[in-house]
Amino acid sequence: MINIEKTGKRIAMLRREKQLSQEQLAERLQVSAQAVSKWETGRSLPETATLPLLSAVLGQSIDSLLLPQELALLSAVYTDGNGQQDVTSLVSRFLSRDQLVLTVSDQLFDGLLQSDRAKLLIIKYETPSGVYSTYALTGQQLALDVHTKGYSLGVPGLTLVHAAYGNELAGRDMLKKMQHYAYFGWQQFTVDQQLFPGTMGHEGKEYLLLVYWNAKGIQAVSCAEGEQMHYNAERTRMFVTALSRQRYIIDNVQQLGFGKGMDCSWAGALYTALTAMGTATSYEEVMGVSGACWRAAFTPVWDYSAADALTAYDYASPAFSAYGLKARWADRLSAEERRLETSAVMESLHNHHLPVAINLRVAPEWGVITGYLDNGNTLLCRSYFDDETFTELKDDPEFGETMKNSNGYLYVDHWPYRLLFLEKPDGNPPPSELDNLLASLRMKLDSMQAGEQQGYLLGYRALDAWQEALLDDVWYTAAEEETFTRRYSVNHFCMMALTDARRSAAAYLRASLPLILNAQAYALQAEMAAIYDQIYTLLDHHYSNMTPPAALRTQPGLKQLWDRKERTQQAELLHKTAGLERRGDELAAMILEQLQTE
């Protein structure tokens, strides 16, 4: 018996599935919109003469419209992820007594979809418990009944349910690999032989087929080798675009990291960029000509940023001048500005110039951008936090494949809040090495007396305040474990920076001795180099015996480990360092006097 209400609901649902309004359906059937409204609200049934055309438009048999079963086929699409054919009417013939059973094949669909890509059938259906979506690949059997619960509609986000690389002849399961690539949070990626390597003897062109589940049910998208797969901004849909300016990577950029003899991340990044430009220099020379080797900084709030060479004093401009560089900063950019600067990053890389940037990965330290993928939408880098990722994933074969695609570089996680572009203009010779030495000595005298800038204490004031803070017994006694641990970690980081700076100062002074032809000035600089060797030896002895913060988890009782005796020893060391620094100032002033009067 015909149930007029159920028939109306079925017509309404099928109309919406075809994305037709009541007016559009009425126009196709050559009836009034009011007539369609009456059917859908159960006030009347379609006239007998209208049923064949209604059946054709909605892709359903007349019986399934007038005698709705509990298992209702709403739509059926045969697709290769690139093109598709509506096969609802054909598939509905296999629906009988609330069951649907068929084997998906090209023969079944009579060659409706001509391509060499893998194909699948996507079904949307309704049972008493709800509306669902499901799929079956070519060669698989699809079996449904009223108890089959597929993929629900209305779910948020996007979930991959199938991934394969190949074609209609053969394909390899890529679901686990795609789930691994999700770790990198790509907004887009390129389908190529590095990310998805082909197998020997494989026939024909290969494609990446992704089947995913979103709010609308099961979806499929297929990407040919050399094309780009994209997520939309909300990451609820995927789509394909052709490649443009795809990738560019500068090879053999050295790894960065603390403990590699370049513990000032800014100077390490600048040295790396200079080396890529073909400039013959050393890390210690970068520290020397920039003046960063004389740096001493401290903030009473005990923050890691005190170790950053550029937080409170301009050591960058002297370095640019020393190497004859033209520099351009791009700081704290808006979203629109970032899009524009991406082109500048790409152009800089094509000129073999590595942009220097801060906060590329993990935390605000300096690094360099080494290349790009996906038309500049994915940037590659060397940062001071790469080692932990390489160590964690070194035995992961899929990570290894990813590194092949990026030539061993990790992906930039954050757009840097400071970005530095460097060029070497023609006809702009740098100052002489002796001029750079004299400029560096003047910076030493200035920076040690700088006092305070932007909330950071510099020079002698920094060393004095650091000593006082180490001897504040009231604070250390009252401090909770978390804040105590953090202060220890900041202290360790700042000691690392100071030790590295004074090692670089000694090395720079020794390397600069051949520049000095004045015998008296030469003797003064030799004495100054010996003083900084002494400062470095004292600092390094203390720093080398400090427990690394990462090892604190295995060391019970930090307050006993970093006790008053230990803090007093460091305070006395800083006091002694300040005394030697003052002798260094006297020698620097005398060297300048000798050489500037020649």
Cα Rg for the chain, rounded, in angstroms?
35
In a domain, 19, yes or no: yes
**Tens digits of residue pLDDT in 504-532:** 999 999 999 999 999 999 999 999 999 99
The residue count of the chain comes to: 598
Residue that finishes a domain, picked among 222, 243, 264: 243
pLDDT, residue 242, reads 58
pLDDT, residue 303, reads 92
The total number of structural domains in the chain stands at 4
- Cite the DSSP H helix spans in 394-480: 397-405, 433-448, 459-470, 473-478
- Clarify whether residues 457 and 571 are in a common domain: yes
Is the Cβ–Cβ distance between 188 and 230 less than 8 Å?
Answer: yes
In a domain, 586, yes or no: yes
Q: How far is CA 462 from CA 288, 306, 376, 444, in A?
A: 20, 10, 42, 14
- Clarify whether residues 235 and 271 are in a common domain: no
- Clarify whether residues 455 and 365 are in a common domain: no
**Tens digits of residue pLDDT in 169-224:** 888 999 999 988 887 888 888 887 778 877 655 566 889 999 999 998 999 999 98
Spatial separation of the C-alpha atoms in residues 178 and 181, rounded to whole Å? 5
- Clarify whether residues 221 and 256 are in a common domain: no
**Residue 458 belongs to domain spanning:** 433-596
Residue that finishes a domain, picked among 423, 447, 475: 423
Spatial separation of the C-alpha atoms in residues 108 and 432, rounded to whole Å? 81
Sequential DSSP letters for 145-198? ETT---EESS--S-EEEEEEEE-SS-EEE-HHHHHHHGGGT-SEEE--TTTSPP
pLDDT, residue 404, reads 87
Tokens of 162: 């199938």
- Clarify whether residues 255 and 173 are in a common domain: no
Residue ranges, the chain, pLDDT below 70:
1, 68, 199-204, 242-245, 426-428, 552-557, 597-598
- Clarify whether residues 185 and 272 are in a common domain: no
Neighbour count for residue 5 (Cβ, 10 Å): 10
Spatial separation of the C-alpha atoms in residues 490 and 302, rounded to whole Å? 6
pLDDT, residue 556, reads 65
Residue 74, Cβ density class (10 Å: 0-12 exposed, 13-18 middle, ≥19 buried): buried
In a domain, 38, yes or no: yes
Is the Cβ–Cβ distance between 458 and 313 less than 8 Å?
Answer: yes
Closest CA to 347 of 422, 253, 448: 422
In a domain, 304, yes or no: no
Sequential DSSP letters for 70-85? SSEEEEEEEE-SS-EE
Residue 332, Cβ density class (10 Å: 0-12 exposed, 13-18 middle, ≥19 buried): exposed
In a domain, 289, yes or no: no
Neighbour count for residue 137 (Cβ, 10 Å): 17
Is the Cβ–Cβ distance between 163 and 173 less than 8 Å?
Answer: yes
In a domain, 301, yes or no: no
Here the contacts of 592-596 (C-beta below 8 Å, separation 24 or greater) are 592/438, 592/441, 592/442, 594/518, 594/520, 594/521, 594/524, 595/434, 595/438, 595/516, 595/518, 595/521, 596/438
- Clarify whether residues 106 and 157 are in a common domain: yes
- Clarify whether residues 202 and 108 are in a common domain: yes
Q: For residue 555, what is the enclosing H or E element? A: none
Instruction: Evaluate the CA torsion angle 377, 305, 255, 443 in order and state its sign.
Output: positive
Q: How far is CA 86 from CA 17, 106, 124, 447, in A?
A: 12, 14, 12, 75
- Clarify whether residues 161 and 46 are in a common domain: no
- Clarify whether residues 156 and 177 are in a common domain: yes
* pTM confidence score: 0.60
- Clarify whether residues 559 and 448 are in a common domain: yes
Q: What's phi and psi for 554, nearest 5 deg?
A: -100, 0
Residue that finishes a domain, picked among 68, 99, 118: 68
In a domain, 285, yes or no: no
Residue that the structure tokens 């048999």 belong to: 61
In a domain, 188, yes or no: yes
Give residues with Cβ within 8 angstroms of 233, minimum separation 6. none
- Clarify whether residues 217 and 253 are in a common domain: no
